[in-house]
Amino acid sequence: MAASSLLSLMFLISTLLLASSSLSVATNPTTFTIPLSPIFTKHQPSNPIKTLNSLASSSLTRAHQLKRPKSKPPLTKTKVFSHSYGGYSISLNFGTPPQTISFLLDTGSSPVWFPCTSQYFCTDCDIDPSKIPLFIPKLSSSSKFINCQNPNCAVISSINSLSGCQGCNCSQACPYSFLYGLGSTLGLLLSETLDFPEKLFTNFLVGCSIFSTQQPSAGIAGFGRTPESLPSQLGLTKFSYCLISRRFDDTSESSDLTLYRGSSSDAKTPGLSYTPFRKNPVSNDSAFREYYYVDLLKIIVGSKPVNIPYKYLVPENNANGNGGTIVDSGTTFTTMEKPIFDAVATALEAEMGNFSRASANVVASTLFNLCFNITGLKFEKIKFPELTFEFKGGAKLELPVGNYFVPVDVGNSSLVCLTIVTDSTFGSVGPAIILGNTQQQNFYVEFDLKNDRFGFRRQTCNKK
Ligand SMILES: *[C@@H]1O[C@H](CO)[C@@H](O)[C@H](O)[C@H]1NC(C)=O
Ligand SMILES: *[C@@H]1O[C@H](CO)[C@@H](O)[C@H](O)[C@H]1NC(C)=O
Ligand SMILES: *[C@@H]1O[C@H](CO)[C@@H](O)[C@H](O)[C@H]1NC(C)=O
Ligand SMILES: *[C@@H]1O[C@H](CO)[C@@H](O)[C@H](O)[C@H]1NC(C)=O
Ligand SMILES: *[C@@H]1O[C@H](CO)[C@@H](O)[C@H](O)[C@H]1NC(C)=O
């Protein structure tokens, strides 16, 4: 279907209630805590390699999109399994009376949208839309579609591949189309009430998505740096989370996502190491403005820093804006451009002297780029080299082994594979390193927006 006919369909489906909106801002300091759980739709317990492969594959696909947000998604050599979406989800209540919808927590994008209307249609989503919670605007007395002339329509147009209302009738609702990895979602911008037990936020801008391809069985809550994100709309001073470790299996456990509002002090949270967020590159690619850049200065393997050319570590401050490191809760495995990855792999190989690097054909069956053969030994008994990311200001992310090596059985061989991935087709575009959620597991992580800094400390996130 062409975009224009999709749009006409959406206009037919939606009830058009035109209204202007402005967010209510309260000044009282408040904290909201929301349970955060890993999401895995349809995992295959009988086939852990398949699950890991699909996570590696979706990490690479997502990296391609984050690195070149405006380009057409590349044809990757591997099939993307849109299920096994290795993210973390939260539930939020929208509308009057409230409807509970689950969302993928995403610091790598800004728009907030949910699967919307009973007509919600999702291709290659591996979900049955009748089995997931859908937001039904008709059942909410506070639902208002935003019209094209509303300035809020332009707010989302910078990241909107439909460029706001171009080609549309401007007295009608504001359409959007957001791209993620190979997938996308299309819908109409809605003003709704976001409901926390402690407080109601009226006139929250949220996408009512009607057509999606390859999306998780949930909406996406964008926590990025631009005005349409959840933290920006709620005026958060900071947010923090602790990602429970995923043993790549189903779990009903959850941890906390905490949102902070109002005037908070500038004091550092006890025990946290901080690094300043880097100003986003002034590039032509406006999507880069959504990202949380940090200055990763060194990658240390064992006790030796890996030699990484400076051009990868610092984003260019020009039209291209390439290079640098971003923190992304929506990427499963950290991705690195190939020259960085190769330097890290060589250093790990030197430290893993007693184990041979598994041959390329075996590694190919796993989709990981670096695996070692540990056949005959127990993962828990092996002393692996330490892996540390050191940031500006001296903050060191000393990764627990489970955050970078995963045991994988292939045939009769026991392998351990590095849960950092690369792709020779990345090229030097976009962020050079995307710090994914596997590497953030079992850390208490704080995005201090007011003081523009990223803080973390080791912590067991699984509640007992
Ligand atoms: C735009 O939509 C309005 C309301 O639906 C309609 O009255 C008007 O004729 C349309 N204008 C054009 C140019 O299609
Ligand atoms: C960036 O934008 C400027 C001004 O609009 C344009 O001249 C230039 O060609 C663009 N560069 C790239 C790499 O897109
Ligand atoms: C390699 O194996 C030898 C003999 O078992 C042991 O002494 C040495 O510590 C091991 N080296 C590493 C890096 O594990
Ligand atoms: C791993 O090592 C074992 C024992 O040394 C060997 O039999 C097996 O073929 C190796 N597997 C791979 C994938 O290299
Ligand atoms: C695995 O080991 C079994 C028994 O030792 C053997 O029969 C089988 O051929 C081996 N499979 C592979 C893929 O090496």
Burial of 200 from C-beta contacts in 10 A (0-12 / 13-18 / 19+): middle
Would the CB of 172 count as within 6 Å of ligand 1? yes
Helix (H) / strand (E) element for 32: namely strand 30-39
Q: What is the mean pLDDT of residues 16-35?
A: 49
CATH class label, 30-261: mainly beta
Query: Could you confirm whether 106 is annotated as catalytic?
Result: yes
What confidence score (pLDDT) does residue 231 get? 96
d(CA 293, CA 276): 9
Q: How far is the CA of 212 from the centre of ligand 1 (A)?
A: 27
Q: Ligand 1: which atom is nearest the Cα of residue 16?
A: 5
Confidence of residue 464 (pLDDT cuts 50, 70, 90): low
Q: Supply the residue whose CA is at minimum distance from atom 4 of ligand 2.
A: 284
Q: Supply the residue whose CA is at minimum distance from atom 4 of ligand 5.
A: 412
Options 295, 328, 423, 448, the catalytic residue: 328
Q: Supply the residue whose CA is at minimum distance from atom 9 of ligand 5.
A: 412
Would the CB of 414 count as within 6 Å of ligand 5? no
- Which of the ligands is closest to the CA of residue 413? 4
Looking at the predicted structure, is the pLDDT value of residue 43 above 50? no
d(CA 165, CA 169): 7
3-state SS class at 317: coil
pTM, full prediction: 0.86
What confidence score (pLDDT) does residue 14 get? 40
Q: Ligand 1: which atom is nearest the Cα of residue 170?
A: 1
Indicate the domain borders of the chain. Answer: 30-261, 273-458
What confidence score (pLDDT) does residue 182 get? 63
The 8-class DSSP code of residue 343 comes to H
Mean per-residue pLDDT over the chain, rounded? 82
Name the CATH superfamily for 273-458.
Acid Proteases (2.40.70.10)
Instruction: Select from 68, 70, 284, 285 the residue to mutate for testing ligand 2; criterion: most ligand atoms less than 8 Å from CB.
Output: 284
Ligand 4 lining (C-beta closer than 6 Å): 358-359, 362, 373, 375, 413
What confidence score (pLDDT) does residue 184 get? 81
Looking at the predicted structure, is the pLDDT value of residue 340 above 70? yes
Options 106, 195, 285, 295, the catalytic residue: 106
Least confident of 1-5, 205-209, 363-367, 407-411: 1-5
The 10s digit of each residue's pLDDT in 128-156 is 667 788 999 999 999 999 988 888 887 77
